[in-house]
Amino acid sequence: MNLNTVIFIMGVSGCGKSTIGQRLSQHLKIPFFDGDDYHPKSNIEKMSQGMPLNDEDRYDWLVSLNDLAKNQLQQNSCIIVCSALKQSYRDILSAQIRNQVKWVHLAGSFNQILERINKREQHFMSSNLLQSQFDTLEFPEHALEINISLKPEEIVDKIIKELKMKSEFGLFGLGVMGKSLSRNLAQKGFKISIFNREEKGSEEDVAITFKDAYKELEQAQAFSNIEAFVNSLQTPRRIMLMVNAGKVTDLVIEDLIPFLSDGDILIDGGNSNYVETKERYDYLKSKKIHFIGVGVSGGEEGALKGPSIMPGGNKETYHLIKPYLESIAAKDANGLPCCTYIGEEGSGHFVKMVHNGIEYVEMQLLAEVYTILKIMGHNPDEIAAILESWKAKADSYLLGITIAILRKKEGDYWLVDKIVDKAGNKGTGNWTTIATAQLGTPSTLIASALFARYTSFYKEERLQASDHFNIKPTPLELELQDVLKAYQFSRIMNHYQGLKLISEAGKTYKWHLNLSEIARIWTNGCIIKSDFMLELVSVLKEDDNILTHPTIINQVRSLKPSINKVVSQCVLNELAIPCLSESVNFLNGYATANSSANIIQAQRDYFGAHTYQRTDDASGRFHHSNW
């Protein structure tokens, strides 16, 4: 049988590891090894003198069992029994072969095991010794847990059923993202089940056809029946939903619930609204189902090669899915997964939502730069060449794809010239703008980028207005260096505002967010990965507010004259640049020691007796005037 797996059977002394291991080995026809036979001489001597082993003594022994497991995997599979009571021991045992290791934990109560040991002929274990085993035991998070009250043959049956037949992870929804993620999971060696609905006559055998198309999905189980899909999974079941956010997500959850059991885990990988994630968490909790809201970024390619993953929800539940998410995630410059536990409730989806808000602005800024360069007289190839030269100073994934887009030709024409100038959206920019207003944080660039998309959609009205108002930008006289610097300036403001929004949400909802860690998982795999993001990881380690960090202050100071020049030129030449102009307006307002808000306060007090504070009253007391 080709399992290509090492089955570690673990548990405290007396739980029956060897009996089960030997029986399982006979059934599966794979070799059995008793870990105790691999102790070095020094350990055996120590134990024979009744001296307990410490972690240092155990280290070489655990490494030798890990070597044994790796060697056996070259041939096929094996069973190794070892108490493996601590997670650190299990980490050593499964080092470099984590995805090919299955843990079976034989679990029983203290009294159950003590009684069992003491019943054995000529065998006595003091309750103190057993207690020390229970004290050391750190419950494994990713093990198949089997109660030892079952008969040995039942235990073996259960293990065979779970490990041989059942998948460890389910992927529901084989659209753009679901397809890529399931291939990614399979490529990492996970045994998965995949599901897509089918519609008789139009959409049949979607999952099977997809499985058959890719070699890496050979071991995957494909379904179009929900019950069969759910039953194909090991318990607790781990099911990731990659379906449309909103109503569809709720419908799919309702479809799944009748087949789920207590403790199963649903993972929503779609771009769901963070408020709904919290509601779904509470609803599913009442049904004893765990729910984790996971932001995933990277698009089709990222999902396949390694996305950036932002999981939020209960931390203990997260640990049950962590190995899967971390394995498929992109890796940062230090080889760490671009996946980190974000925080409680819908925090993962909140962070993904703001990621998309930042993405909207980054895209809009590049669109504005394109407009400027076009008005300056450059064709798409020339603009691509200019942007290419910016890579040294402002490289990003979005800059790269914009260059590729500009170079794409159909015959003699650039494709970009044939695309209708109406920008769509699926909701995350809208929600970010609502969230920033609700939290009282000025993410003005995200709002501007969103409204620029909305404005673009009024194509008919825009055509009329262009006649009525005769807005015809004239050629701009700008240095390319100034355009680059203006772009860099606006990107700083964008990242400041997005991170500020996350930081404020973290405080309001008590999510305890780590901004530097969030920036780190955005350095690879996601749509907003960039060299600047890499720089922000260290900046944010020192200061949550990037605009008070000396490095960023110096950058803003040196870029400011260019954004002033570019924006004023564009305004004088009637060229719409909503995000570039908002970025400089924002900083001008933010960095004004004495703003015009005194007039607003006076007006509010005049008509509504809303009161105001006085500059000549340090107590901060509120005053009212009879105007």
Ligand X SMILES: O=C(CO)[C@H](O)[C@H](O)COP(=O)(O)O
Ligand Y SMILES: NC(=O)C1=CN([C@@H]2O[C@H](COP(=O)(O)OP(=O)(O)OC[C@H]3O[C@@H](n4cnc5c(N)ncnc54)[C@H](OP(=O)(O)O)[C@@H]3O)[C@@H](O)[C@H]2O)C=CC1
To the query of whether residue 359 is one of the catalytic residues in this protein, the response is yes
Candidate list 352, 485, 500, 529, residue with the active-site label: 352
The CA-based diameter of the chain, rounded to the nearest angstrom, is 102
Candidate list 168, 345, 359, 582, residue with the active-site label: 359
CB of 298 to ligand Y, least distance (A): 7
CB of 170 to ligand Y, least distance (A): 13
Adjacent-strand bridge partners of 101: 6
Per CB under 6 A, the list member of 12, 69, 222, 242 interacting with ligand Y is 242
Nearer to ligand Y, 428 or 555 (CB): 428
From 239-247, 370-378, 407-415, 587-595, span contacting ligand Y (CB under 6 A): 239-247
Other C-beta atoms closer than 10 Å to the C-beta of 48 total: 8
CB of 330 to ligand Y, least distance (A): 13
**Taking CB under 6 A as the criterion, which residues in 408-437 touch ligand Y?**
426
From 246-254, 303-311, 424-432, 438-446, span contacting ligand X (CB under 6 A): 424-432
Sheet of 221-223, strands arranged across: 221-223, 192-195, 169-172, 238-241, 265-268, 290-297, 308-312
Name the binder of 359 from ligand Y, ligand X, none, CB < 5-8 A by kind: ligand X
**Taking CB under 6 A as the criterion, which residues in 271-290 touch ligand Y?**
271
DSSP state of 527: T
- Helix locations, 329-379, DSSP H: 347-375
Please give the single-letter amino acid code of residue 297.
Answer: S
Nearer to ligand X, 287 or 459 (CB): 459
CB-CB contact of 495 with 518 (8 Å): no
Residues binding ligand X: number (CB under 6 A) = 10
Told to check if 524 binds ligand X by CB under 6 A, we report no
**Taking CB under 6 A as the criterion, which residues in 552-611 touch ligand X?**
none
For 328, list phi and psi in degrees, rounded to 5: -90, -10
DSSP string, 56-93: HHHHHHHHHHHHHHHHHHHHS-EEEE----SHHHHHHH
CA 140 to chain centre: 23
Name the binder of 270 from ligand Y, ligand X, none, CB < 5-8 A by kind: ligand Y
CB of 275 to ligand Y, least distance (A): 15
| Per-residue binding letters, 546-575, with ligand Y (x by CB under 6 A) | ------------------------------
From 8-16, 77-85, 285-293, 425-433, span contacting ligand X (CB under 6 A): 425-433
From 35-43, 54-62, 126-134, 423-431, span contacting ligand X (CB under 6 A): 423-431
| Per-residue binding letters, 295-334, with ligand Y (x by CB under 6 A) | -xx-x-----------------------------------
Name the binder of 425 from ligand Y, ligand X, none, CB < 5-8 A by kind: ligand X
Extract the tokens encoding 274.
């963070």
Q: Which residues contact 208 (CB under 8 A, 6 or more apart)?
A: 222, 224
Other C-beta atoms closer than 10 Å to the C-beta of 188 total: 17
Extract the tokens encoding 521.
């998982």
Please give the single-letter amino acid code of residue 555.
Answer: Q
Name the binder of 11 from ligand X, ligand Y, none, CB < 5-8 A by kind: none
Q: Which residues contact 169 (CB under 8 A, 6 or more apart)?
A: 185, 190, 191, 192, 193, 233, 238, 239, 240, 324
Told to check if 244 binds ligand Y by CB under 6 A, we report yes
Told to check if 270 binds ligand Y by CB under 6 A, we report yes
From 174-182, 315-323, 328-336, 467-475, span contacting ligand Y (CB under 6 A): 174-182
Name the binder of 69 from ligand Y, ligand X, none, CB < 5-8 A by kind: none
**Taking CB under 6 A as the criterion, which residues in 436-495 touch ligand X?**
none
Told to check if 359 binds ligand X by CB under 6 A, we report yes
Per CB under 6 A, the list member of 165, 248, 465, 571 interacting with ligand Y is 248
CB-CB contact of 351 with 293 (8 Å): no
Told to check if 14 binds ligand Y by CB under 6 A, we report no
> Would strands 409-410 and 413-414 be described as parallel, antiparallel, or unpaired?
antiparallel
Q: Which residues contact 243 (CB under 8 A, 6 or more apart)?
A: 172, 173, 175, 178, 249, 252, 270
From 4-12, 179-187, 420-428, 478-486, span contacting ligand X (CB under 6 A): 420-428
Other C-beta atoms closer than 10 Å to the C-beta of 14 total: 22
Nearer to ligand X, 428 or 555 (CB): 428
Nearer to ligand Y, 14 or 348 (CB): 348
Told to check if 175 binds ligand Y by CB under 6 A, we report yes
Distance CA 135, CA 86 (A): 10
Nearer to ligand Y, 324 or 496 (CB): 324
Q: Which helix (H) or strand (E) holds 102?
A: strand 101-107
Distance CA 483, CA 394 (A): 12
Per CB under 6 A, the list member of 356, 444, 497, 581 interacting with ligand X is 356
**Taking CB under 6 A as the criterion, which residues in 115-174 touch ligand X?**
none
Per CB under 6 A, the list member of 79, 384, 519, 527 interacting with ligand X is 527
Mapped onto helix, strand or coil, the DSSP state of residue 347 is helix
For the chain, first and last CA: distance in Å?
90
Told to check if 433 binds ligand X by CB under 6 A, we report no
Region for 620 from its dihedrals, namely left if φ exceeds 0, alpha if ψ lies in -120 to 50, beta otherwise: left
Other C-beta atoms closer than 10 Å to the C-beta of 77 total: 22
DSSP string, 569-624: HHHHTT---HHHHHHHHHHHHHT-SS-THHHHHHHHHHHH---EE-TT-TT--EE-
Distance CA 193, CA 219 (A): 9
**Taking CB under 6 A as the criterion, which residues in 337-396 touch ligand Y?**
none
Nearer to ligand X, 235 or 244 (CB): 244
Name the binder of 178 from ligand Y, ligand X, none, CB < 5-8 A by kind: ligand Y
Nearer to ligand X, 28 or 449 (CB): 449
Told to check if 246 binds ligand X by CB under 6 A, we report no
- Where in 250-378 does DSSP place strands (E)? 265-268, 290-297, 308-312
Per CB under 6 A, the list member of 101, 155, 174, 253 interacting with ligand Y is 174
Query: Which residues contribute to the site for ligand X (CB under 6 A)?
Result: 271, 297, 299, 356, 359, 425-426, 428-429, 527
Query: Which residues contribute to the site for ligand Y (CB under 6 A)?
Result: 173-178, 196-197, 203, 242-245, 248, 251-252, 270-271, 296-297, 299, 426
Q: Where in the sequence numbering do the catalytic residues fall?
A: 352, 359
